[in-house]
Structure formats: C-alpha cells, structure tokens
Amino acid sequence: MTASHCTDALAELVAGAGELYGRQRSARFFFDSEPQELRWVLRTTDDVVNVTIYKFPDVAVSPDLPDSHGTMIWQATYPRPAFAHGVLEAAHTVLTEHGEAGYLAKWAMHPYPVALVQDLRRLHMRDDVCDLSHDLSRP
Ligand SMILES: [Zn+2]
C-alpha cells in the first residue's frame, strides 16, 4: 500500500502502536492514499494486537464514515511484543536507509518521528517480553 506524504504515516503507525501500552484498548489512524483512505484500526486484548485495515474510495469524505462502509483489505493478529518489535524494526530500517535529513527531504511535510520511536521502544522494552535483538542503534 502507498501512503502519500499528506499524512504523517510512519508517525501515526508508531504512535498507534505506543497507544496500546496504556489504558487505551484501541487506536485508529489513516493514511491518505490520494484519493483513497487507508484506515488502520488496532485493537488489543491480553497482549494480542488485532490489526484491521479498511480502504475507502475517497478520503475527502470517508473519515466521517463508519468502518463498515469501507472494504477490509487486511486483518491479522499478532502478539503485542511481535507487533511493536516489527513497527520499531520498520522505523529503524527507514532511518538506516534515509537518515533524518533524507527522510525529511523525501517526505517533505513531516520529519522522521524520533521521539515517538523512542517512546515506543521504551514501552516495548519495559512491558514486553521480547527475545529479538534490540540493537537498533542509530546509523
Ligand atoms: Zn523486541
């Protein structure tokens, strides 16, 4: 799927994953796919994260529509540690590939979400049992 730079897509994804560590049991955000809306709905129960992505034909009107009006294009359930780790790893890959300056140059409207990534990493390390490597040092 492609997200345009009109939405701060990476930041939304990282922030959404981070929201699941508090009392909040769900998070939702969307990517503007010009003209489609790609709506992400994350729900968590018992350390499992259910990810559902809905597609709507026109982002100009769809943010007000209920999920049931969209087309489900992805649904999967992951243990929360695996989900958070995957998001962190994806963010790290982007940073390694482009660097902060390169990211801003490419994405234009939004900087690389350094603080949100740090927050998610802190929550993941604090609350999740994860056996994967966390050597996600900055390039
Ligand atoms: Zn991990």
Q: What is the pLDDT of residues 36-64, one digit of tens each?
A: 999 999 999 988 999 999 999 999 999 99
Q: Are 80 and 43 in contact (CB under 8 A)?
A: no
93-112 residue pLDDT tens: 999 999 999 999 998 889 99
- Ligand 1 centre to CA of 129 (Å) is 8
How remote is the CA of residue 90 from the centroid of ligand 1, in Å?
12
Report the DSSP beta bridge partners of residue 50: 43, 77
In the structure, ligand 1 is a single-atom ion and the residues with CB under 5 Å from it are: 85, 130, 132
Q: Give whole-number Cα distances, 54 to 15, 80, 90, in Å.
A: 19, 21, 21
pLDDT of res. 139: 46
Distance 5 CA to ligand 1 centre (A): 28
**Distance from Cα 66 to the centre of ligand 1, integer Å:** 33
pLDDT score recorded for residue 98: 94
